[in-house]
Amino acid sequence: VAVFPNGTGSPVQWNTSDQSPSNPDLQFVTAMLNQVESTLCIDTSRVYASGLSDGSFMVSLLACTMSSRFTAIAAVSGLQLPRPCHTTRRVSILAFHGTADPILYFNGGVGTATLNRVLGRGGQPSGPTTTTTLPKVNLHGPGYPAAVQAWASKDGCNPRSTDIRVSSQVIRRTYQCPAGTGVEFYIILGGGHAWPGSEISRAITSITGFTTFQINATDQIWAFFQRFRL
């Protein structure tokens, strides 16, 4: 069973700054799960969430606030470790991020000019972007590498990672974790703010940067999810 919830507002977004039970988006996700699980035959030990960009922020929040209901999450271009993060169990984490992401920089920070174009602020998002110089990349530095490592530490994994070059454009970073838990990070060398293997992402390269087709994020996410249950 696949469910595709939408955020609200203009531009459409999720409320990811409020961890309290009064957050209407958390209330919505709870109500959505309750309805789906009460009307369909759902294995509640195998409930997962994935998202892109702001959707990654949201599934990161769900990992902290609803860890008793979500077995694992996958965050493409935007994994966070919200603070505080009061989980009741270890949540398996899969992340993807491009080193040339022009919107959410690999080592932290936001490409405001590009983001404004995507959101239609100060220019049409369909046009070519202005060439900008991206920050120098540190594969083990702050930002998204640090966020993945922080989740690994929170999940009780060895903080030392192992990198495997799976293709010319992709590094797979793994951590040695307790049984039943996994934390993995796909680093897309030269990758943009994109879903690996997505034709839609490739169609908007002028806005969001390069999309790799050497891996397919959808396939990798499903394979990862199937390894874990509550």
Q: How far is residue 202's CA from residue 184's CA, in Å, rounded to a whole number? A: 24
For the full predicted model, state whether its pTM sits above 0.85: yes
55, two tokens: 């959707």
**Which pLDDT score is estimated for 132?**
58
pLDDT tens, position by position, 77-87: 999 999 999 99
As a whole number, mean pLDDT of residues 111-125 equals: 63
N-to-C CA span, the chain: 17
- Percentage of the chain modeled with pLDDT above 70: 92
pLDDT tens, position by position, 67-109: 999 999 999 999 999 999 999 999 999 999 999 999 999 999 9
Higher pLDDT, residue 148 or 10? 148
As a whole number, mean pLDDT of residues 54-60 equals: 97
As a whole number, mean pLDDT of residues 127-155 equals: 83
Asked if pLDDT for residue 131 goes beyond 60, the answer is no
Q: CB-based contacts of 130: which residues, under 8 Å, 6+ apart?
A: 113
Q: How far is residue 225's CA from residue 83's CA, in Å, rounded to a whole number? A: 25
Banded model confidence at residue 121, pLDDT cuts 50, 70, 90 = low
Long-range contacts of 165-168 (CB under 8 A, 24+ apart): 166/214, 166/215, 167/214, 167/215, 168/214
- 3-class DSSP state for residue 155? coil
pLDDT tens, position by position, 159-218: 899 999 999 999 999 999 999 999 999 999 999 999 999 999 999 999 899 999 999 999
Banded model confidence at residue 120, pLDDT cuts 50, 70, 90 = low
Alpha-helical regions (H) of the chain: 24-39, 54-65, 112-118, 144-154, 199-203, 205-208, 217-225
